[in-house]
């Protein structure tokens, strides 16, 4: 379905709510900043709207992240001398990769002596999906593939909850600011996608869409 005429109609609203959200954040009005972002998000309509969900964000963020087992290995193909005449594939052994979203991390109770040495009665561990041996989280290598930039998940976690206490308020300010700009980045990414698709579907038509500072750099 074409979007002819729709983007110019929302451009003024998009500019208004983005400015509102940033101003409210600057003044420390967290509710106002949240409201501004939510209204900004709604400007793009259901198809481009960023989803707010802790569970979905965790799922999308954990895709391709793995823990390496300290006890077993798996075969992996590696290209040797790539681009050369003697280019060939070699089979090598690498630590077994366990997808984080399939691993269960749990508390392992320690014996009395171990508890004294480790300074606690429990420790975080996980069991390898291939060999079944137990790995300590603190001794586990985690691989987080680098995503190509820019990228968008089209989902953000829920807004941080403000707690009581001075330290909690300071932590909340930091957590909220990080969440705010993550949400804004996702919305901006969807806005760029919307404009790109609008132009492709309305080639040759005049478009007076809102452009932020990032579009002019």
Residue 204's pLDDT is 52
- 112 shares a domain with 86: yes
In a domain, 1, yes or no: no
In a domain, 97, yes or no: yes
- 207 shares a domain with 100: no
In a domain, 79, yes or no: yes
Collapse the DSSP code of 44 into the 3-class scheme (helix H, G, I; strand E, B; otherwise coil) and give the result: coil
- 210 shares a domain with 107: no
The DSSP string of 120-189 is: SSEEEEEE-TTT--EEEGGG-EEE-PPPPSS---SEEPPPPPP-SSHHHHHHHHHHHHHHHHHHHHHHHH
Residue 189's pLDDT is 84
Per-residue tens of pLDDT for the chain, all 217 residues? 445 444 545 678 888 999 999 999 999 999 999 999 999 999 888 888 999 999 888 777 766 689 999 999 999 877 777 667 777 778 899 999 998 888 999 998 877 656 566 656 778 899 999 999 999 998 999 987 665 555 678 899 999 988 776 666 778 889 999 999 999 999 988 888 877 777 667 665 544 444 444 443 3
- 161 shares a domain with 137: no
In a domain, 44, yes or no: yes
Residue 210's pLDDT is 41
In a domain, 60, yes or no: no
Which of 116, 143, 170 corresponds to the end of one domain?
143
Q: Is the pTM of this model over 0.75?
A: no
Domain count, the chain: 2
CA–CA dist 10, 206 (Å, integer): 15
CA–CA dist 28, 62 (Å, integer): 31
Which of 119, 143, 167 corresponds to the end of one domain?
143
- 76 shares a domain with 47: no
Which of 93, 114, 143 corresponds to the end of one domain?
143
**What is the residue range of 128's domain?**
65-143
Strands 105-109, 122-127: parallel, antiparallel or unpaired by DSSP?
A: antiparallel
- 109 shares a domain with 40: no
In a domain, 90, yes or no: yes
- Helix or strand run (H / E) with residue 94: strand 88-99
In a domain, 59, yes or no: no
């Amino acid at each position: 379905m074409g979007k002819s005429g729709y983007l110019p109609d929302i451009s003024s609203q998009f500019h208004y709510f983005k400015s509102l959200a940033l101003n409210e954040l600057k003044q420390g009005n967290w509710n106002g900043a949240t409201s501004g972002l939510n209204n900004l998000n709604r400007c793009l309509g259901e198809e481009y709207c960023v989803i707010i969900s802790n569970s979905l964000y965790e799922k999308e963020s954990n895709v391709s992240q793995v823990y390496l087992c300290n006890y077993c290995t798996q075969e992996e193909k590696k290209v040797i001398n790539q681009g050369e005449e003697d280019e060939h594939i070699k089979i090598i052994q690498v630590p077994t990769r366990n997808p984080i979203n399939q691993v269960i991390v749990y508390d392992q109770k320690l014996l009395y002596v171990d508890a004294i040495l480790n300074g606690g009665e429990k420790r975080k561990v996980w069991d390898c999906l291939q060999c079944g041996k137990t790995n300590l989280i603190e001794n586990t290598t985690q691989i987080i593939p680098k995503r190509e930039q820019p990228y968008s998940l089209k989902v953000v976690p829920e807004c941080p909850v403000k707690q009581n206490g001075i330290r909690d308020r300071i932590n909340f300010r930091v957590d909220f600011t990080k969440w705010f700009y993550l949400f804004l980045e996702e919305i901006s990414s969807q806005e760029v996608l919307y404009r790109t698709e609008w132009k492709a579907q309305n080639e040759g038509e005049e478009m007076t869409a809102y452009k932020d500072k990032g579009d002019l750099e």
